[in-house]
Amino acid sequence: MKNIVFVFLLTIVTAISSCGQNQSKNTNTKDQKLWSVRMAESEMIRFPSCWQVDFVKEKKWNYTPGLEGLAFTNIYEAYKDDRFYLYAKGYADSLIDKNGQILTYNKSNYNIDYLNPGKLLIYLFEKTGDNRYKIALDTLRSQLKTQPRTPEGGFWHKKIYPNQMWLDGLYMAAPFYAEYAQKFNEPDAFGDVVNQFLLVAKHTYDPKTGLYRHGWDESKSQKWADKETGQSPHAWGRAMGWYSMAIVDALDFLPQNQPGCEEIVSILKNMVEKLTEIQDPKTGGWYQVLDRNGEGGNYIETSCTSMFAYTIFKAVRKGYIDKKYLKTATKAYEGLVKNFIVVDDKGLVNLTKVCGVAGLGGNPYRDGSFEYYVNEMIRDNDPKGTGPFIMASLEYEQLAK
C-alpha cells in the first residue's frame, strides 16, 4: 500500500513540474510558475484592485471579492509573497473606513452573501491587530443574531427571498460563523452552525439522484418550488460546490466532538462518492446541471469543477474521506488545466466556461428549470471560478510537497 501511495504522489509531482506547459501555443515557456501563482498574477493584471474582480465599476461589499481575497491570503500563506497579501488587504481597506464602518453594507437587507468577506476580516485582524477589522467583522456577526429564520432555525438566504434556504448560503455564512465562534469564544454557536448544514441537507436532498437541489422554499409558495417538498427543480453544480466547500471549511473550526459533526462528514462522504460516480470521464469535470448529465445544452462548468476539486483534495488531506478519492480530485484538477485553462498572447492565464450567475426567483423571474440554467451567461475569469481554482491549485501543490 505504501508503494502505491508513493507512486501516486510521484505522478502528481511529475505533473506539477510540467504545469507551466499549457497546450496553448501562447504559453510563456520561460515562466514555469505554479498555476496558483500564475492565475493570481493574471487576476492582478486584469483587475488592478480586488474590488474589481466581478467586472464591476463601483466598489461594493460582496461575496465575490471576499472569495478571491481569501484565496489570495492562502497564496500568501503558502509562498510568502507580499503582493498577494496586499491585494487581499486592499479590498478590505477600500471599503472599511477609519471607524470600522463597511461602505455599501446594509444590515437591514439581511443578505447572507454579505457575510462571506468576514473570513478575510478575521484573517486581517489577527495579522494586523487593526481594530477597524474587528469592528467590521463584529458588525457582520451581529447580522446573524437577527437574520430571519425558518421555523426550524435555518437562515433565510435573503430578506427578499423569505422562507428560503439555498445551498449557496451555507458557504456565505457557515465557515465565517464557525470561525468567529471558535476565535471569539462563542461555543454555544457551534450547534447552530451544525444545524444549518443538517437542515439544508434534509430539505434539498433528492433520494432519486443522491444529489442536492439548489434551493428549498419552506412555504412552498414559489413558482419554482415543488408543492410537496418545496425543493427547486434541479441540482445546480455550483450550488453543490458552495455547499461542499462550506463543509470542509467550517469543519476547520467546529470541535471534533460537536454533536452533528459526524452527520456532516457522512454527508460529505456520500457527496464525494456520488460526484465520483457522475464525473465526466473525458474532461474530469462536472456538468452545469448535475442531474441532467450529457443532455443537449448542458456543459462542463468550471467553477463547480474547481470547487469540487478543492473540496475533495482538502477532505482527503484532513482525513474526512478515503485517500482513494485523490484520483477523482486529480482527474478534475488536471482536466481543468488541460481543457479549460487558456494562456493568451500576453501570457495571462484564463479560466474558461464559468457560469456567470444563477439564482431562483427575483425579477426577471428565474424558474430553476434546466433551460434556465444552461442558458445563463457563460464567461471567462469569473471570480466564482478563479477563486476556487486558485484554492484547488494550492491543495494540489501542497499534496505534491
pLDDT at 6 over 70: no
Residues 6+ apart with CB under 8 A from 227: 220
pTM tops 0.85, yes or no:
yes
C-alpha span between 340 and 77 (Å, rounded): 26
pLDDT at 314 over 70: yes
Q: For residue 233, give the nearest of 215, 207, 208, 220 by alpha carbon.
A: 215
Grade residue 400 by pLDDT with cuts at 50, 70 and 90. Answer: confident
State the pLDDT at residue 32. Answer: 62
Q: Hey, where are the domains in the chain?
A: 26-400
Residue pair 290/237 in contact (Cβ under 8 Å)? The answer is: yes
Residues acting as catalytic residues: 168
Per-residue pLDDT tens for 58-95? 999 999 999 999 999 999 999 999 999 999 999 999 99
pLDDT at 144 over 50: yes
Per-residue pLDDT tens for 319-341? 999 999 999 999 999 999 999 99
- For residue 119, what is its C-alpha cell? 473570513
- For Cα atoms 115, 233, 273, give the angle at the middle one, nearest 5 degrees: 75
- For residue 124, what is its C-alpha cell? 486581517
| CATH number assigned to the domain covering 26-400 | 1.50.10.10
Across the chain, mean pLDDT equals: 93
